[in-house]
Amino acid sequence: MMDPGLTILTAMITPAVLISGAGAILMSTTTRVGRVTDRIKHYTDRFRALVEGDHLDGTLATAEKEMIMGQLEIHSQRSRMLLRAMTGLYVAISLFVLASVLIGARELTQGTTGVLPTVIAVLGSLSLAYATLMLSVEVRLSAKASRQEMNFMLRLGERYSQLYDETHSPSGQAAARPVR
C-alpha cells in the first residue's frame, strides 16, 4: 500500500511542474516585451528625427517614414499579444498554485473538495494553452516586422549603391553594375 504522505506529495507535484513550465515561458515573454518596447522607442525616435531633419533623398525619407509607421503598428500588435500571453500565464500559474493548495488541504483535513482541484487545474491548462497561442501569433508578427525592415534595408542599400556608382564613375554617369 502506498504511503499517504507520498500520495499527497505526488498529487501536489503535477501542478508544481506546470507552474515551473509556465514560469519559464513567462520569463522569456517578459524579455520579449522589453525588446518590443525598445524597438518601439527606437522607431519613434527615428521617426521624430526624419520629421524634423533635412534629408538628401526625400523619396527615401518618405519610404522610411512609411516603413516606420508599419513597424510601429506591428510592434503595437506584438505588444498587445504579449500582454495577453502574460495575463494568461499569470492566470495559469495562479490556478495551478490554487489546485496544488486545494489538493494538499483536502488531504491534510481529510475533507472532500470533489473535482474542484481537477477543474481548476484544467482551467489553468486552458489558460496556458491560450498564452502559448498568443505567443505563436506574436512570433509570426515578429517575423513579419523583420521581413519588412529587411526589405526596406535592401531598397536603401540599392539606392545608396546607385548614388555611389553615379558619384564615382569616371564620366559622372552611372557605372554598369554586374548582373547577378
Rounded Cα distance, 13 and 46, in Å: 50
Question: Which residue, 22, 17, 20, is CA-closest to 129?
Answer: 22
- Please give the mean pLDDT across all residues of the chain: 81
- Find the domain containing 162 and state its range: 4-167
Q: What is the pLDDT of residue 131?
A: 94
159 located within any domain:
yes
148 located within any domain:
yes
Rounded Cα distance, 9 and 17, in Å: 12
178 located within any domain:
no
pLDDT band at 77 (very low <50, low <70, confident <90, very high): very high
176 located within any domain:
no
At 121, list the grid cell: 487545474
The average pLDDT across 92-120 equals 86
pLDDT band at 180 (very low <50, low <70, confident <90, very high): very low
Condensed to tens digits (0 to 9), the pLDDT of residues 51-73 reads: 776 665 677 778 888 888 888 89
Condensed to tens digits (0 to 9), the pLDDT of residues 27-40 reads: 888 888 888 888 88
Q: What is the pLDDT of residue 86?
A: 92
Rounded Cα distance, 113 and 10, in Å: 17
Q: What percent of the chain has pLDDT over 90?
A: 24
Rounded Cα distance, 127 and 114, in Å: 22
- Cell 499569470 belongs to 90
The SS3 call for residue 114 is: coil
175 located within any domain:
no
The SS3 call for residue 106 is: helix
> Which letter does DSSP use for residue 176 in this model?
P
Are the beta carbons of 82 and 33 closer than 8 angstroms?
yes
**DSSP assignments along 70-87, one per residue:** HHHHHHHHHHHHHHHHHH
Rounded Cα distance, 108 and 62, in Å: 69
77 located within any domain:
yes
The average pLDDT across 76-105 equals 91
Report for 6-10, 62-66, 115-119: range of highest mean pLDDT: 115-119
Q: In sequence order, what are the residues at sequence separation of 6 or more whose Cβ sits closer than 8 angstroms to the Cβ of residue 54?
A: none
179 located within any domain:
no
**Count of domains for the chain:** 1
- Cell 490556478 belongs to 95
> Which letter does DSSP use for residue 57 in this model?
-
Q: What percent of the chain has pLDDT over 70?
A: 82
Rounded Cα distance, 82 and 115, in Å: 32
pLDDT at 9 over 70: no
177 located within any domain:
no
